[in-house]
A and B are shown apart, each in its own frame.
Chain A
């Protein structure tokens, strides 16, 4: 390793050292990973059972079937990579055009100085929308897209996404707020509200610090109000 490479190692170590999570954040990461792992395991077991049944139906043999374990490599056990899955069809369409994302988000915010508004997204088979802006210097962002298909219900999908318990809403959607205080009175540096709908949409609204010295401008209650606003979907579909 030459001098430049050693300096690169030192730089990466220094820059990321401050990112080490505290005990509570580590516990949240582990809980989220474990919850997703359980979901993934069940999904794979269900997929394996389905594949085995299909093969048995065609070939008519009941023995000698085994799945290839993990694609090992030299020295290190190498994990398999999931292949992309097609998203399930939705019953509602997105209620606004790609370029309107930031404007829609802004329309739901309290009055304030909005700067650096940006929208992006895609249409077609897997539509998605995204927007972000600064409100009085605080960061607010929105992401909307199709949920990947999964074994399990909407609640399980929500829990896996948020890494936290979700609450059921009247319309059958499930929602979780992560990062903020439970009573919604106090905002922290980053709060995210995750919403998963019965027809397969994921909507995330987040608020955090933006410009230097700024504070998050929205708490859990406001983020929840925004996430559950009907503006995001075309209810006529």
Chain B
């Protein structure tokens, strides 16, 4: 039975974590609407695990939720590729964000558009979550070598934006 205390704890965690999850989700999906859908699906899985009678408490809920997010994204992409999910196939467009997206955000979304779901997941875990190669490999069930390869590919994809940032930094200096 779910107690009020458990529900309160979960909601408290979810409220605290949802904003960060949404940032990661947007990088994965490139679209605000899809990102919100992914966050809700992720929170649902955390909810189930949170209230499971067997297995004890989640040792690190934030890490669990982050891993659930990227795995759900990857799994969802696989399902969509086989025609499973009907409502998450809208390509990215400027109009999907609730607020007008910045040019930089749109440029990043365009740059990430050709990356595979796993490449995006590596990008998020390595550079938004600031995880090590080993930690990222562990979360994704991949080898460290594969993570390095995917990291390099993702960085190559956004290199023009990184160079722009570098130019901006140098001009400021």
Pairs A-B, 9 closest by C-beta atoms: A145-B86, A33-B43, A37-B47, A139-B95, A36-B44, A16-B23, A37-B44, A79-B68, A210-B95
Tell me if B162 counts as interface (CB < 8 A to partner A): yes
Tell me if A170 counts as interface (CB < 8 A to partner B): no
12 A-B residue pairs with CB within 8 Å: A7-B165, A15-B105, A16-B26, A16-B27, A19-B23, A30-B11, A34-B14, A74-B138, A85-B84, A132-B93, A146-B86, A148-B84
Tell me if B121 counts as interface (CB < 8 A to partner A): no
Nearest to B162 among chain A residues (CB) is A7
Q: Are A209 and B138 in contact (CB under 8 A)?
A: no
Tell me if A111 counts as interface (CB < 8 A to partner B): no
Tell me if A138 counts as interface (CB < 8 A to partner B): yes
- A168 CB, min distance to chain B CBs, angstroms: 20
- B150 CB, min distance to chain A CBs, angstroms: 13
Q: Which residues of B contact A197 (CB under 8 A)?
A: none
- The number of chain B residues with a CB under 8 A from chain A is 83
Knowing A15-B102, A143-B90 touch, does A78 contact B139 (C-beta < 8 A)? yes
Distance in angstroms between the alpha carbons of A16 and B35 in the assembled complex: 12
Among A38-46, A50-58, A221-229, the one that faces the other chain is A38-46
Knowing A13-B128, A202-B86, A202-B87 touch, does A21 contact B48 (C-beta < 8 A)? no
Nearest to B11 among chain A residues (CB) is A30
Tell me if B9 counts as interface (CB < 8 A to partner A): no
Set B11, B79, B138: member contacting A84, Cβ < 8 A: B79
- B165 CB, min distance to chain A CBs, angstroms: 5
Tell me if A114 counts as interface (CB < 8 A to partner B): no
Q: Which of A54-79 contact B (CB under 8 A)?
A: 66-67, 69-70, 73-79
- B34 CB, min distance to chain A CBs, angstroms: 11
Q: Which residues of B contact A141 (CB under 8 A)?
A: 90
Q: Are B23 and A20 in contact (CB under 8 A)?
A: yes
